[in-house]
Amino acid sequence: MALNSGLPPGVGPYYENHGYQPESLYPPQPAVAARAFSVYPAHYYPPAVPHYTPRVLTSTSTPAIRTQPKSPSGTPCTSKTKKALCISAALVTVLAGAVVAAVLLWKFIRLYGPNFILQVYSFQRKSWHPVCLDDWTESYGRAACQDMGYRNSFYSSQGIADDSGATSFMKLNISAGHTDLYKKLYHSDVCSSKNVVSLRCIECGVNRRMGRQSRIVGGTSAAPGDWPWQVSLQVQGVHVCGGSIITPEWIVTAAHCVEEPLNNPRYWTAFAGILRQYLMTYEHGYRVEKVISHPNYDSKTKNNDIALMKLQTPLTFNDKVKPVCLPNPGLRLEPKQPCWISGWGATYEKGKTSDELNAVMVPLIDPVQCNSRYVYNNLITPTMICAGYLQGTMDSCQGDSGGPLVTLKSSVWWLIGDTSWGSGCAKANRPGVYGNVTVFTDWIHRQMRANS
């Protein structure tokens, strides 16, 4: 438990969901030298726009382009010193160009809506357009998936009728030679096939029995395969936080789960496909290779409360272990969209971690209502989502942190939140607050690609 001075009068402490922990949970952290550079440049930050409102506007902004630096002296490279400086400047230019290329790539490719429509940004029209199916092949789909961070994953690439209302398209120029995919694309107002590309890089969002309301506070025990993307993240054999599988190697969790000293990946082990905590003591689990916390995470306000873990060895998918889908731009959710939370958190406030995986349905709560003076009094930012019941009774609790808030849309389960914070557990006018994963999808893809 931790106090937050910014809470309204009478709210009291909020939980950070580190789970039930013995005093010896946090291992001593070895001293490390301070980094001389920022890992995440400022232009990597996602826009602070909530995407869970009924309509999602398409951004038309373009990134700034860096100019190449001039020779240090402003004169040709002649002397040995000047040559060395010129070589250094050239290397900087090449590296800067690579960064710009990566930024441009990420700015101008995405999957849109519940049908995973591949969209590319048109420099000519300064707007997003679906890719026409004309002359499209599976090899192009595999290339696009790799560029979105799915290095070893591809599920399907097919044509469907466009549902985004587009009147123009990006089209392949098959006579462009052996250039990369994006150099083959050009703007066109005609698509002969009248179909656009639907790209699924991974088979995600499928569980054993859809629509089953499977304890958290007020819920019921989960059955095998109900929530196959749920993982238990442990330190020294103790459950600390939950997480969600998005690829065989990547897990989404909360940034507050990996605050120092737990930002060191060697402390963490992930367990997947196991419902009971006691059974995990007989398994080795999956070691974590990298921990990547969002660069704008604020430990006081819990703004941008999201992090990624990369596993040392990939998960093997089966009926009990499967990924959940990341939310695409254009995924429209109702103001009271039914969602589900799951985890091994306490089943009552100040309780211990549950041995069983539990789950419960909670509806989204309008951010205006959640920010009212009677609830969280303007503590909810666009990077947060509220879900639950204002009368209380059902909620996430300590130990559920980092775990999934998912919803079923178009027969697919989408990860729209990660359990972040709340005032107590299942209290009236104190619903659960979750990281708004819909604003972090691009950031997640960038990290997957950069750390593959």
Does 124 have pLDDT greater than 50? Answer: yes
Domain holding 124: CATH number? 3.10.250.10
Is 69 inside any structural domain?
Answer: no
* pLDDT number for residue 293: 98
190 plus 328 within the same structural domain: no
Residues 350, 387 within the same domain: yes
Domain end (from 144, 179, 200): 200
* Domain membership of residue 294 as a residue range: 230-321+441-450
Scanning 205-344, the segments in alpha helix (DSSP H) are: 277-280
Tell me the per-residue pLDDT of 401-427, one tens digit each, with 9 for 90 and over. Answer: 999 999 999 999 999 999 999 887 878
Q: In terms of domains, do 433 and 337 share one?
A: yes
Question: Which of 158, 184, 200 marks a domain boundary?
Answer: 200
Task: Take residue 349 and report the two structure tokens written for it.
Answer: 């406030």
Quick one: pLDDT at residue 80? 58
Distances (CA, A) of 1 to 19, 204, 297, 342: 10, 35, 19, 20
Per the CB < 8 A criterion, the answer to whether 241 and 403 are in contact is yes
Catalytic residues: 256, 305, 401
Residue 81 lies in a domain: no
Does residue 400 share a domain with residue 267?
no
**123 or 30, which is more confident?**
123
On whether both 288 and 384 belong to a single domain, the answer is no
Distance of CA 74 to the CA centre of its chain: 45
CATH number at residue 236: 2.40.10.10
| pLDDT per position as a tens digit, 256-303 | 999 999 999 999 999 999 999 999 998 889 999 999 999 999 999 999
Q: Which two tokens stand for residue 276?
A: 């009971």
Residues 391 and 431 grouped into a single domain: yes
- The reply to whether 41 falls in a domain is no
Evaluate if residue 34 carries a pLDDT over 50: no
Q: Are residues 242 and 386 in the same domain?
A: no
Which token pair is 113?
């809506």
**Which residue among 178, 200, 222 closes a domain?**
200
Q: In a 3-state reduction of DSSP, which class is residue 88? A: helix
Q: Residue 62's closest CA among 6, 14, 104? A: 104
- For residue 2, tell me if it sits in a domain: no
Residue 25 within any structural domain of the chain: no
**Same domain as 302, residue 281:** yes
Q: Assess whether 425 and 446 both reside in one domain.
A: no
161 within a domain of the structure (yes/no)? yes
Q: Based on the fold, state whether residues 290 and 328 are members of the same structural domain.
A: no
Neighbouring CB atoms inside 10 A of 321's CB total 18
260, 294: one domain: yes
Q: What is the pLDDT of the chain when averaged over all its residues?
A: 78
Q: Mind listing the pLDDT tens digit for each residue in 54-106?
A: 222 223 333 333 333 333 344 455 555 555 565 555 554 444 443 333 334 44
* 437-448 confidence digits (pLDDT tens): 999 999 999 999
Please say whether the beta carbons of 394 and 420 come within 8 A.
no
In this prediction, residue 16 has a pLDDT band, given cuts at 50, 70 and 90, of very low
Asked whether 416 and 52 are in contact (CB, 8 A), the reply is: yes
Cα angle value 25/28/34 (rounded, 5°): 130
With 70 as the cut, is the pLDDT of residue 107 above it?
Answer: no
Whole-angstrom distance between the N-terminal and C-terminal Cα of the chain?
36
Domains held by the chain: number: 3
3 within some domain: no
Going by C-alpha positions, the residue among 369, 303, 297 that lies closest to residue 335 is 369
